[in-house]
Homo-oligomer: A and B are copies of this chain.
Amino acid sequence: MSKKQALTEFHRGSILAAAERLFAEKGTEKTTMDDIAREAEYSKATLYVYFQSKEEIINAILLSGMVLLKRKLHEAIESQNDWFQAYDAVCQAIVRFYDENPTAYDAATGAIPLAPQSDSMQKGTADILRVSDEIEQELAAFLMRGVEAGAVRTKLPPIETVMLFWSALSGIIHTAEYRESYIQRTLQLTREEYLRHGTRMLLDSLTTHN
Which residues of A come within 8 Å of B, CB atoms?
29, 109-113, 129, 155-157, 159-161, 163-172, 174-176, 178-179, 182-183, 186-187, 189, 194, 197-198, 200-202, 204-205, 207-210
Q: Are B204 and A204 in contact (CB under 8 A)?
A: yes
Pick the 5 closest A-B CB pairs, nearest first: A171-B171, A205-B205, A167-B175, A168-B168, A110-B175
Residues of the B chain whose Cβ atoms lie less than 8 Å from the Cβ of A189: 160
Residues of B within 8 A of A168 (CB): 168-169, 171-172, 198, 201-202
Nearest to A205 among chain B residues (CB) is B205
From A29, A157, A178, A189, name the one whose CB has the most chain B CB atoms within 10 angstroms: A178
Assess whether A129 is in contact with B182, with CB atoms less than 8 Å apart.
yes
The residue in chain B whose Cβ has the minimal distance to the Cβ of A183 is B163
Sample of 18 more A-B contacts, CB < 8 Å, known A164-B201, A204-B204, A208-B210: A109-B175, A110-B174, A110-B179, A111-B171, A111-B174, A156-B201, A157-B187, A159-B186, A160-B194, A163-B183, A163-B187, A165-B201, A167-B176, A167-B198, A168-B171, A171-B174, A204-B205, A209-B209
Of B110, B157, B205, the contact of A201 (CB 8 Å cutoff): B205
- Chain B's nearest CB lies how many Å from the CB of A147? 15
Residue in contact with A178 in the complex, picked from B110, B164, B165, B208, CB distance below 8 Å: B110
CA separation between A169 and B170, bound complex, in Å? 10
Contact A178 B129 (CB under 8 A): no
A155 CA / B186 CA spacing, docked (Å): 17
Which chain B residues lie closer than 8 Å to A110 at the CB level?
Answer: 174-175, 178-179, 182
A1 to nearest B CB, angstroms?
Answer: 21
- B197 A111 Cβ-Cβ under 8 A: no
Residues of B within 8 A of A186 (CB): 159
CB-CB < 8 A to A163: which residues of B? 175, 179, 183, 187
A205 to B154 Cα, complex, angstroms: 12
Contact B113 A198 (CB under 8 A): no
